[in-house]
Amino acid sequence: MTSISTGQDFQRHIPAIGNIATKSPLAYQATRGAARVVNMMQMALAESYINGLEVPDSVLRSLFDTYMPILFKHFPALLAPYEWVLEETDHVAEGSRDLMKLQYDLPQGMLNRMIGDWQLIYPKYSMGLWEKGAVDLEQSQIYMLDDLIEKLDIQDGDNILDFGCGWGCIPNYILSKFPNVRFTGLNLSHEQCEYMRQKMQDPESYLSSGRFTLVEGDLNEAQFEEKFDKILSVGVFCHVGNLTHAFKKLASFLKPEGKFFLHIITVRTPNNISSVFTHKYIFPHGRYWSFDTVPTFNQDFTTVNRWYLNGINYSKTFAAWLKNFDDSYDEVKNLDYGIDFTRFRRIWRFYLIWLGTNFATCDGEINGNGQFLMVHTNR
Ligand SMILES: C[S@@+](CC[C@H](N)C(=O)[O-])C[C@H]1O[C@@H](n2cnc3c(N)ncnc32)[C@H](O)[C@@H]1O
């Protein structure tokens, strides 16, 4: 006990090492300065690649594999490129419109092809569960959906809200398993909503069963008349800047005995992290919340169970997406990205290789996904 507290006390005054939240003022400023240098270097590498630097994928991967474990294990404070990554921001979700433009409303011909689109499994832009022996992307997503059904204890007859429902993959799958479940899906992406509207007219889709309600709108403004039995949110909270406000809002949508299942990218580091590259090119204002701190935002919810899913599951998912992206070159190269496809392709290849490698680093034990089962605090 004595040696731990002495160690932490010592680290308080040493810049860059360990937990940023425990730093003395001078060490804090020095750490922020060092983070800026690390992030300039990361951006220089990313932009050189985007601008045409020829580097084999294997070299990029081994570069990330060499320095990311050092940062994750010893210098996580340097992985918070902006001050706001460490704190809650004012809004539930920051910069929603920019995010839709840069990411979710991109040509769906490219996105759907990359993440996969099957008869029952619609595009699902979140981790597949490979560790159960999945042989391909589709099966990994089915395993993940079955896992969700079990952990949230979905019952036939439940009325469920999917907060950030993507292309309706989760509702469609669950509606196919439970003939009396009802779903409401909320999503701000107009293009993804158009996909679901088409499915709602397709007799072969469970979204056309009359048990699915689609709401095109922003998490920030969401309001519902009815109260839900269950709420789930998968892969969305990396866009949420204020957990306190988000949990308060979600608790108000839930029946007193209801349950909320949160599935997010997470890090087992003392502070939240982000990256300058993804903020600028892929997910504006995106951040990965620290696994241990999520349950502490517990004014409205108590976390009754939580699971850490090893990042290798996501690394394999990213590898499958990269392969699909590369394989679809001829089909997607003439779509309208707002920028030249050669540049777009390099941005997206860097993204898929960068995150794919980071999730596998440290044997997937630091950067993975977190699942949190929550109930009302005072029910
Ligand atoms: C990574 S995708 C995950 C989608 C889906 N849950 C899945 O697992 O496939 C994140 C989803 O959140 C939606 N989203 C992000 N920010 C939002 C906001 N401010 N309001 C509503 N939806 C939002 C995106 O459009 C996208 O559909």
Q: Which residues touch 109 (CB under 8 Å, ≥6 apart)?
A: 331, 332, 335
Residue 119 shares a structural domain with residue 137 = yes
Residues in the chain where the model's pLDDT stays below 50: 1-4
Check residue 6 and give its pLDDT: 55
Cβ–Cβ contacts within 10 Å for residue 89, how many?
Answer: 16
pLDDT of residue 48: 98
| Distance, CA of 241 to CA of 85 (rounded, Å) | 8
Residues 42 and 116 in one domain: no
Cα–ligand 1 centroid distance for 347 (angstroms)? 21
Pocket of ligand 1 (CB under 6 A): 93, 96, 99, 104, 124-126, 164-166, 169, 186-189, 192, 218-219, 234-236, 239
Buried b (16+ CB within 10 A) or exposed e, 8-34: eeebeeebbbbebeebeeebbebbbee
36 Cβ contact partners less than 8 Å away, ≥ 6 residues apart: 81
Q: Which of 39, 67, 84 is the last residue of a domain?
A: 84
User: Does 260 share its domain with 131?
Assistant: yes
- Give yes or no: residues 254 and 269 share one domain: yes
Q: Indicate whether 51 and 103 sit together in one domain.
A: no
Centre of ligand 1 to C-alpha 166, Å, is 5
Q: How many domains does the chain have?
A: 2
Q: Are residues 49 and 107 in the same domain?
A: no
Nearest to 262 by CA among 218, 217, 220, 297: 297
The count of C-alpha atoms lying within 13 angstroms of the C-alpha of 188, restricted to the half-sphere facing its C-beta, is 18
- Tell me the two tokens of residue 131: 């560790």
DSSP state of 164: T
- Same domain assignment for residues 93 and 80: no
What does the DSSP assignment read for 156-173?
A: TT-EEEEET-TTSHHHHH
CA 330 to centroid of chain Cα atoms = 28
- At 240 the three-state DSSP class reads strand
- 187, 196, 214, 282: which to mutate for ligand 1, most atoms within 8 A of CB? 187
The pair of three-digit structure tokens given for residue 84, joined into one six-digit string: 């706001």
Q: Give the phi and the psi of residue 226 in degrees, each rounded to 5.
A: -85, 165
Q: Which atom of ligand 1 is nearest to the CA of 126?
A: 8
Other CB atoms within a 10 A radius of the CB of residue 162 amount to: 24
Domain that holds residue 17: 2-84
Query: Does residue 243 share a domain with residue 160?
Result: yes
E strand map for 243-362: 254-267, 289-290, 301-309
C-alpha–C-alpha distance, residues 324 and 276, integer Å: 26
CATH of the domain at 239: 3.40.50.150
Question: Is residue 137 located within the same domain as residue 176?
Answer: yes
Q: How far is the CA of 284 from the centre of ligand 1 (A)?
A: 13
pTM confidence score: 0.96
Torsion of CA 339, 343, 344, 349, to 10 degrees: -170
The pLDDT, as a whole number, for residue 378 is: 77
Q: Compute the mean pLDDT over every residue in the chain, rounded to the nearest whole number.
A: 95
Query: Which atom of ligand 1 approaches the CA of 233 most closely?
Result: 6
Q: Are 293 and 300 in contact (CB under 8 A)?
A: no
pLDDT at residue 7 in the model: 59
User: Are both 99 and 227 inside the same structural domain?
Assistant: yes
Whose C-alpha lies nearest to ligand 1, atom 12?
A: 164
Q: What's the pLDDT tens digit per position in 115-162?
A: 999 999 999 999 999 999 999 999 999 999 999 999 999 999 999 999
CA of 218 to the centre of ligand 1 (A): 10
Last-in-domain residue among 33, 64, 84: 84
Q: Distance, CA 125 to ligand 1 centroid (Å)?
A: 9
Chosen domain end from 20, 55, 84 = 84
Tell how far the Cα of 145 is from the centroid of ligand 1, in angstroms: 17
Residues 24 and 111 in one domain: no
Among the atoms of ligand 1, which is closest to the Cα of residue 100? 25
Q: Are residues 95 and 218 in the same domain?
A: yes
